[in-house]
C-alpha cells in the first residue's frame, strides 16, 4: 500500500510498561503465529500512546519471522481511498481479491469507519474472508469497537471476536524509560533529575513527552550548556520557585502574559524548523534510496550519504545518481535489443560501475553488427523487366510501396540464373533506404551457418535479437533449409514475430514451396500464405535489356545486329546469356575482330576457331571439342543447343 | 543571496520589516533587541532623525548559534516608511528572504497601508521577485489603541491580506505579537530554505 513499514517502529524500540504489556504480548504472539491466535487483534488507545508503533512492530516481527509473508500496513483512509480508486476504475473485484491474499493485514485508525456504511460492509467481508483463510488481521482505533459511532453491529461483534486490548497512559517509570531511550537516540545527555522532572510533569501522552524532550534538546544544543532540573522546569514552563530571568533592556517592558523567555521560545521554534529543514535532506536521500532500490538498482552511494552528518550537496549527489541510473537504463535498453542475455548482467544495475557498463555496452554494440544486408551489386534499376518476370517485379514494387502489408511473405520462384537473387537484393536495397530500416538479406546457407556459430558460442539469444531487430528479412534459396530442424524452428518463430509486426519477408526458391521437400509443413504453409511469384525463362525483352546494359558497362555502343542476334539466341536463363556475352566480349578484346553479330556467331557457333591461345588452354582443362570445331565446355554446349527447334532456326540463317 | 550554505554550514536569513511610516517597524526591532541575550545580538544600527524617524534603516543581527550543526544568523532590517525614501527601501529590500509587513491599524491610516503594500509589491518586482513567492506575513500593529480609532484584525485582513498570508495582531510597544510575527516569518523563510535547497 502507500505506507511502508517504518523500520524505526519495531518491538526493540517499543518501551514496555504495565500500561501496554498486554497489548505488546498479544502483538508478539500474533507476529509469531499470524492467524493462529487473537484474530482479529484490536488495539485501542488514546492518541500518542503507540498504536501505530505497535502495529508496525507486529508487521516487522512477522516479516522477520517469515520473510515470505505478504504483509500490508495501511490506515483506514488509505484503504478507503484505494477502494474508491479501484471502484472508479471498475476493478472492485481485483481490489477485494488483492486484500484477501494478504497474510497479515494491519489497519490503522479504524475509528474513521464512522458513518461509512459501504466501507463497513467491505471491511466486514474482508475480515470474514481473512479469518476463514486463516490470515491475520490487526486493527487499531482510538476507542473500542462498540464506541465507534454508527458501527454496524455485525462488524462490532466481528472485531470484538478476537482480542481487544487497550494501551493505557504510561506510568511514571515507563515515561522515564521512554525519555531515556529517546534522549539516547538523539545523542543528548542530561543532568541527573532532568528527565525525571519531565516525566513527572508531562501528562503522559508519549507525543507530548517527546515535545518536551525536544525543547530541552534544542535548548541544550543552542546554549551549549547542560541544563539541570530547575532550568528544565523553566524551559518547559512548569511552575518553579525560581523567578525567570527576564532579559530586559532597550526600554521595552516585559511582554504581557509574562512570557519570560520569548527569545528562548523563538529559538526553540527556529531550532525545530531548522532541524526539519536541514534534516529534510535525509528524507530526500531516503526517498531516493527507496525508489531506486525498488527498481532494482544498487544504492550504496546514496546510503553512504546518510552516514555523513551534513553532506555538502545532497541534491547534486541525488541528481548525479539519478543521471547515472538513467544512463544505465539507456544502456540496458540498448543492450537488451542487441543481446537480451547481456542486458541481464548486474553491471547495468549498479551506478558505481557505470564505466564498466559503458564498456560492456560498447562491447555488445561492437559484437552486434546488424544482420547482413543486401548486396549493393544488385540495384533495382538494373533489373531487366519483361513479360517473363513481370509478375515478380510488380509484386516487388507492391512490396516496396507497402512493406509488410501487401504480400507478406513474397516468395520468388524460378530456376537458377533467372535473377531471383538480383530481385531479392534489389528489394532489400530499396527497403534499406527507409529511415531506421534494418534489412537482413542473406543466403539461407549463411543464415544456417550463423545460427550454428551462435549455438556454438552460446549466443543464440544474441543471434535471435539481431534478426528480431530487422525491419525486413530476405532469405535467398530458402529450400536449403530442408532438413535443418533447428533453423526451421528458429525461422518459424522469427517469421511469426516479424509478420506480426508487419515487417516484410521475402524468400527465393527454385520451385513453389509446396513442391520442395524437407521443409516442415508449418514453414511451407507460411511461405505459401503470401504471394508466390514465378520468374520464367527470360523473354526477348528481358534479354535485350540485359544485353544493352552489359554492353554499355563494357563501354561498347551496342551494335543493333549484335543485340538482335544475341537476344534471338535461345537462353534458358539470364546467366546463360551473360555467359555468352562475356565470351563474345572477351573474344573481341583478344583481337578476334570487331564486336558485332559476325564475331558473336563465330564465337558462339564455332565458325572461326582462331583463338589458339584459348583453345590450348581449354583442351587441357576438361573441355570437349565440339563437332563443329569450336571449343566449348559441356555446359555451354547445353546452353547453345537447348532444343532442336532453336538449332533449326540457327541453321536456316 | 545564499540562505543555506552546506559547505560553511551557515544559515543566514534576511528579514525586512516593511510598512508605512510610523507603523511601528523600528519598535518591533527594539522589542526583539530587548529580548535577545547580549551575547546573541549584534549592535543594533539605527539611523534616525532627531525626531526618531528612521532616516536610513535599522539593522539588527541576531546570532542564534549552532542549530543542527549550522551557525544560524538572522538579520532584521527595517525600511524608512516615509514615501520619499523609496530608493532606500528598494535597496534594503534587495536580497530579502522574508518580509514582515507592519500595518498601522488606525482606521485613518488604511490608505497609507495600501499604498505601502503596493509599493512593496513594485519594489520587489524591481528586484525580480514576485510578491506571491516571497515569504510574507502581516502584522496589524497598534491593536492596543481604543477600538473606535482602529480597524479590527478581521477588517484589516479583508482590506490588506488578499494573498491570505499569516497575519498577527500586535502591540509592538509592549511586545504583544512581536515574537509571534517573527516566529511565523522565520518558519516561512526556513521552510522555503528547505525547499530552496531541494531545487
pLDDT single digits (tens) A230-249: 777 777 766 543 333 333 33
Closest chain B residue to A261, measured at CA: B35
**At what angle are helices A460-468 and A444-456 packed, to 10 degrees?**
140
Which position has the grid cell 501522552? Answer: A205
Measured in angstroms, the CA of B19 and the nearest CA of chain A are apart by 21
Max distance between CA atoms of chain A, in angstroms, equals 143
Q: What is the pLDDT of residue A287?
A: 75
Judge: A269–B176 Cβ closer than 8 Å, yes or no. no
Domains of chain B (ranges, CATH numbers)? 4-194 (3.40.50.300)
Cell triple for residue A509? 526458391
B45 touches chain A (CB under 8 A): no
Predicted complex ipTM exceeds 0.95: no
CB B97 within 8 A of CB B13: yes
Grouping H, G, I as helix, E, B as strand and the rest as coil, residue A139 is strand
Weakest mean pLDDT among A40-54, A161-175, A613-627, B121-135: A613-627
Query: Does A250 contact B33 at a Cβ distance shorter than 8 Å?
Result: yes
Half-sphere exposure (Cβ direction) of B123: Cα atoms closer than 13 Å: 24
Contact B29, B147 (CB under 8 A): no
Which residue of B30, B58, B68 is the best one to mutate when testing the A interface, meaning the one whose CB has the most A CBs within 10 A?
B68
> CB–CB of B179 and A278 under 8 A?
no
pLDDT at A467 > cutoff 50: yes
Chain A CB contacts of B65 below 8 Å: 222-224
Contact (CB, 8 A) for B136 and B165: yes
pLDDT at A110: 86
Lookup: cell for B179 = 515574537
A323/A317 Cα distance (integer angstroms): 10
CA atoms A373, A379, A380, A385: torsion sign: negative
Give residues with Cβ within 8 angstroms of B184, minimum separation 6.
Answer: B137, B166, B168
List B104's β-bridge partners, or say none: B141
Q: What is the mean pLDDT of chain A?
A: 78
Nearest to A274 among B31, B190, B199 (CB): B190
- The pLDDT of residue A616: 41
Helices vs strands, H then E, count in chain B: 5, 8
> What is the phi/psi pair of residue B18, to 5°?
-120, 155
Predicted confidence (pLDDT) at residue A628 exceeds the cutoff of 60 = no
Mean pLDDT across A601-617: 56
Q: How many CB atoms lie within 10 A of CB A124?
A: 16
pLDDT at residue B122 in the model: 93
pLDDT of residue B108: 92
Residue A76 Cα distances to A54, A120, A129, A140, angstroms: 16, 11, 18, 10
| B130 interfacial to chain A (CB closer than 8 Å) | no
**pLDDT, greater one: A465 or A339:** A465
pLDDT category at A250 given cuts 50, 70, 90 is very low
Across chain B, the runs of DSSP E, i.e. the strands, are 4-5, 10-18, 45-48, 54-67, 70-78, 98-104, 136-141, 167-169
Residue A313's closest chain B neighbor by CA?
B6
**Residue-level pLDDT at A243:** 36
Q: Do A259 and B70 touch (CB under 8 A)?
A: no
Give the model confidence (pLDDT) of A134-146 as tens digits: 889 999 988 888 8
User: Is B73's Cβ below 8 Å from some Cβ in A?
Assistant: no
A498-508 pLDDT per residue, tens: 888 888 999 99
Contacts of B178 in chain A (CB under 8 A): 255, 262
At residue A241, the pLDDT reads 39
Is the model's pLDDT at A468 over the cut of 90? no
Q: Per the omega criterion (within 30 degrees of 0), is the bond before A452 cis?
A: no
Close Cβ partners of A483 (under 8 Å, ≥ 6 residues apart): A518
Give the pLDDT band of residue A252 (cuts 50, 70, 90).
very low
The partner residues of A140 in beta bridges, in order of sequence, read A43
The string of pLDDT tens digits covering residues A44-99 is 988 888 888 899 999 999 988 888 888 888 888 888 888 888 888 777 788 788 88
Look at residue A126 and tell me whether its pLDDT is greater than 90: no
In this predicted structure, what is the pLDDT of residue A298?
84
Residues of A in contact with B38 (CB under 8 A): 247
Q: Would you state the pLDDT for residue A238? A: 67
φ/ψ bin of A81: left (φ > 0), alpha (ψ from -120 to 50), beta (otherwise): alpha
Q: What domains sit in chain A, N to C, each tagged with a CATH number?
A: 11-167 (3.40.50.300), 281-367 (no CATH), 380-534 (3.40.50.300), 540-652 (no CATH)
| CA atoms of A328 and A347, how far apart (whole Å) | 9
* Residue B193 touches partner A, C-beta closer than 8 Å: yes
pLDDT at A168 over 90: no
Residues in B touching A269 (Cβ below 8 Å): 183, 186-187
Total-model pTM: 0.38
Query: Of the ranges A259-263, A470-474, A515-519, B178-182, which one carries the lowest mean pLDDT score?
Result: A259-263
B68:A312 CB<8 A = no
A584 contact partners, CB below 8 Å, separation of at least 6: A562, A566, A595, A599, A600, A603, A604
Q: Which pLDDT score is estimated for A542?
A: 83
Phi-psi group of B18: left, alpha or beta (phi > 0 → left; psi -120 to 50 → alpha; rest → beta): beta
Give A390's Cβ-side CA count (13 Å radius).
Answer: 6
Most confident of A195-204, A257-266, A604-613, B181-190: B181-190
Rounded Cα–Cα distance for residues A494 and B105 (Å): 83
Kindly calculate the radius of gyration of chain A based on its CA atoms and give it in whole angstroms. 44
pLDDT(A303) > 90 = no
Alpha helices in A485-591 (DSSP H): 485-500, 521-528, 540-553, 560-568, 574-589
Q: What is the mean pLDDT of residues A605-623?
A: 47
Given a cut of 70, is residue A349 above it in pLDDT? yes
Residue entry with cell 521577485: B129
pLDDT of residue B54: 62
Distance (Å, rounded) from C-alpha A227 to C-alpha A603?
A: 120
How do residues A381-425 score in pLDDT, each as one tens digit? 888 888 888 888 888 888 888 888 888 888 888 888 888 888 899
Cell of A439: 534489412
Output the pLDDT for position B48: 61
pLDDT for residue A625 is more than 50: no
pLDDT tens-digit readout, A548-587 = 887 787 777 777 788 888 888 777 788 888 888 888 888 7
Phi/psi of residue A18, nearest 5 degrees: -65, -30
- Cβ of A278 within 8 Å of Cβ of B72? The answer is no
Contact B41, B33 (CB under 8 A): yes
pLDDT grade, residue A367 (50/70/90)?
low
Distance between CA atoms of residues A395 and A380, nearest Å: 13
Residue A278 has pLDDT above 80, yes or no: no
Report the distance separating Cα A324 and Cα A302, nearest Å. Answer: 12
* Cell numbers that stand for A415 in this block: 530456376
**Beta-carbon-side half-sphere exposure of residue A177 (alpha carbons within 13 Å):** 11
Smallest CA-to-CA distance from A298 within A289, A287, A307, A308 is with A289
For residue A607, name the pLDDT band (cuts at 50, 70, 90): low
Phi, psi (rounded to 5 degrees) for B63: -100, 115
Task: Give the pLDDT score at A254.
Answer: 39
Using an 8 Å CB-CB cutoff, list chain A residues near B199: 315
The Cα B123–Cα B135 span in angstroms is 15
| Upper half-sphere CA count for residue A591 (Cβ side, 13 Å) | 5
A270 vs B190: CB contact, 8 Å cut-off? Answer: yes
pLDDT for res B184? 92
Q: Could you give the 3-state DSSP secondary structure of residue B45?
A: strand
d(CA A249, CA A597): 127
**CA-angle at A441, arms to A440 and A447, nearest 5°:** 85
For chain B, give the number of residues. Answer: 199
For chain B, residues with pLDDT lower than 70 are: 1-7, 46-56, 194-199
Amino acid at each position: 500500500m502507500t505506507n511502508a513499514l517504518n523500520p524505526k517502529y519495531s518491538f526493540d524500540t517499543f518501551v514496555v510498561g504495565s500500561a501496554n504489556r498486554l497489548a505488546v504480548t498479544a502483538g508478539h504472539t500474533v507476529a509469531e503465529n499470524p492467524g493462529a491466535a487473537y484474530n482479529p487483534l484490536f488495539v485501542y488507545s488514546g492518541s500518542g500512546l503507540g498504536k501505530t508503533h505497535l502495529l508496525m512492530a507486529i508487521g516487522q516481527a512477522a516479516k522477520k519471522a517469515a520473510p515470505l509473508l505478504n504483509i500490508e500496513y495501511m490506515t483506514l483512509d488509505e484503504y478507503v481511498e484505494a477502494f474508491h480508486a479501484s471502484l472508479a476504475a471498475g476493478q472492485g473485484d481485483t481490489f477485494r481479491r488483492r486484500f484477501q491474499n494478504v497474510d497479515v493485514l494491519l489497519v490503522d485508525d479504524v475509528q474513521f469507519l464512522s458513518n461509512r456504511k459501504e466501507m463497513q460492509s467491505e471491511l466486514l467481508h474482508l475480515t470474514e474472508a481473512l479469518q476463514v483463510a486463516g490470515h491475520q488481521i490487526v486493527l487499531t482505533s482510538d476507542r473500542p469497537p462498540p464506541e465507534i459511532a454508527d458501527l454496524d453491529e455485525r462488524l462490532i461483534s466481528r472485531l470484538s471476536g478476537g482480542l481487544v486490548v487497550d494501551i493505557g497512559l504510561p506510568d511514571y517509570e515507563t515515561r522515564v524509560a521512554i525519555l531515556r531511550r529517546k534522549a539516547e537516540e538523539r545523542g543528548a545527555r542530561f543532568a541527573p533529575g532532568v528527565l525525571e522532572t519531565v516525566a513527572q510533569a508531562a501528562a503522559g501522552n508519549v507525543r507530548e513527552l517527546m515535545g518536551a524532550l525536544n525543547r530541552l534538546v534544542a535548548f541544550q544544543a543552542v546554549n551549549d550548556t547542560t541544563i539541570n532540573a530547575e532550568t528544565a522546569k523553566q524551559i518547559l514552563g512548569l511552575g518553579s520557585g525560581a523567578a525567570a530571568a527576564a532579559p530586559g533592556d532597550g526600554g521595552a517592558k516585559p511582554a504581557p502574559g509574562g512570557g519570560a523567555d520569548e527569545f528562548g521560545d523563538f529559538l526553540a521554534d527556529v531550532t525545530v524548523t531548522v532541524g526539519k529543514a536541514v534534516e529534510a535532506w535525509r528524507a530526500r536521500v531516503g526517498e531516493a534510496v527507496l525508489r531506486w532500490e525498488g527498481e532494482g538498482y544498487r544504492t550504496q552511494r546514496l546510503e553512504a550519504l546518510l552516514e555523513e552528518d551534513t553532506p555538502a550537496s545532497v541534491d547534486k549527489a541525488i541528481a548525479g545518481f539519478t543521471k547515472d541510473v538513467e544512463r544505465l537504463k539507456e544502456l540496458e535498453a540498448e543492450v537488451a535489443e542487441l543481446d537480451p542475455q547481456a542486458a541481464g548482467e548486474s553491471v547495468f544495475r549498479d551506478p558505481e560501475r557505470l564505466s564498466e557498463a559503458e564498456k560492456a555496452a560498447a562491447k555488445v554494440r561492437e559484437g552486434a553488427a546488424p544482420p547482413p544486408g543486401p548486396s549493393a551489386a544488385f540495384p533495382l534499376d538494373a533489373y531487366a523487366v519483361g513479360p517473363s518476370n513481370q509478375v515478380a517485379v510488380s509484386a516487388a514494387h507492391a512490396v516496396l510501396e507497402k512493406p509488410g502489408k501487401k504480400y507478406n511473405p513474397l516468395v520468388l520462384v524460378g530456376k537458377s540464373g533467372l535473377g531471383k537473387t538480383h530481385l531479392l537484393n534489389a528489394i532489400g536495397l530499396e527497403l534499406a533506404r527507409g529511415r531506421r530500416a534494418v534489412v537482413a538479406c542473406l543466403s539461407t546457407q549463411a543464415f544456417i551457418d550463423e545460427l550454428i556459430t551462435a549455438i556454438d558460442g552460446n549466443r543464440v539469444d544474441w543471434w535471435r535479437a539481431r534478426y528480431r531487430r530487422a525491419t525486413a528479412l530476405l532469405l535467398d534459396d530458402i529450400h536449403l533449409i530442408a532438413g535443418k530442424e533447428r533453423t526451421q524452428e528458429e525461422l518459424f518463430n522469427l517469421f511469426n514475430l516479424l509478420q506480426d509486426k508487419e515487417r516484410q519477408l521475402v524468400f527465393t526458391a527454385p520451385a513453389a514451396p509446396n513442391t520442395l521437400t524437407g521443409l516442415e509443413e508449418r514453414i511451407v504453409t507460411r511461405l505459401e500464405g503470401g504471394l508466390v511469384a514465378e520468374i520464367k525463362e527470360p523473354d526477348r525483352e528481358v534479354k535485350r535489356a540485359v544485353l544493352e546494359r552489359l554492353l554499355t558497362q563494357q563501354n561498347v555502343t551496342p551494335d543493333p545486329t549484335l543485340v538482335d542476334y544475341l537476344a534471338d539466341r535461345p537462353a534458358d536463363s539470364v546467366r546463360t546469356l551473360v555467359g555468352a556475352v562475356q565470351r563474345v566480349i572477351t573474344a573481341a578484346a583478344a583481337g578476334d575482330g570487331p564486336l558485332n553479330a559476325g564475331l558473336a556467331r563465330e564465337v558462339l557457333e564455332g565458325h572461326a576457331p582462331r583463338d589458339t591461345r584459348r583453345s590450348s588452354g581449354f583442351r587441357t582443362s576438361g573441355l570437349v571439342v565440339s563437332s563443329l570445331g569450336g571449343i566449348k565446355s559441356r555446359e555451354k554446349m547445353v546452353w547453345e543447343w537447348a532444343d532442336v527447334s532453336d538449332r533449326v532456326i540457327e541453321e536456316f540463317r | 543571496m545564499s540562505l543555506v550554505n552546506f559547505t560553511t554550514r551557515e544559515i543566514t536569513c534576511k528579514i525586512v520589516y516593511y510598512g508605512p511610516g510610523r507603523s511601528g517597524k523600528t519598535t518591533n526591532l527594539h522589542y526583539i533587541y530587548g529580548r535577545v541575550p547580549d551575547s546573541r545580538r549584534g549592535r543594533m544600527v539605527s539611523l534616525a532623525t532627531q525626531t526618531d524617524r528612521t532616516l536610513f534603516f535599522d539593522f539588527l543581527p541576531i546570532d542564534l548559534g549552532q542549530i543542527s550543526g549550522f551557525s544560524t544568523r538572522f538579520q532584521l532590517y527595517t525600511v524608512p516608511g516615509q514615501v520619499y525614501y523609496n530608493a532606500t527601501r528598494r535597496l534594503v529590500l534587495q536580497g530579502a528572504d522574508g518580509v514582515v509587513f507592519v500595518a498601522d491599524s488606525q482606521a485613518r491610516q488604511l490608505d497609507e497601508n495600501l499604498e505601502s503594500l503596493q509599493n512593496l509589491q513594485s519594489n520587489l518586482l524591481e528586484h525580480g521577485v514576485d510578491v506571491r513567492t516571497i515569504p510574507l506575513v502581516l502584522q496589524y500593529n497598534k491593536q492596543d489603541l481604543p477600538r473606535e480609532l482602529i480597524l479590527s484584525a478581521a477588517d484589516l485582513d479583508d482590506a490588506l491580506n488578499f494573498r491570505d498570508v499569516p497575519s498577527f495582531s500586535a502591540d509592538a510597544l509592549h511586545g504583544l505579537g512581536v515574537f509571534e510575527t517573527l516566529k511565523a516569518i522565520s518558519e516561512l523563510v526556513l521552510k522555503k530554505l528547505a525547499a530552496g535547497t531541494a531545487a
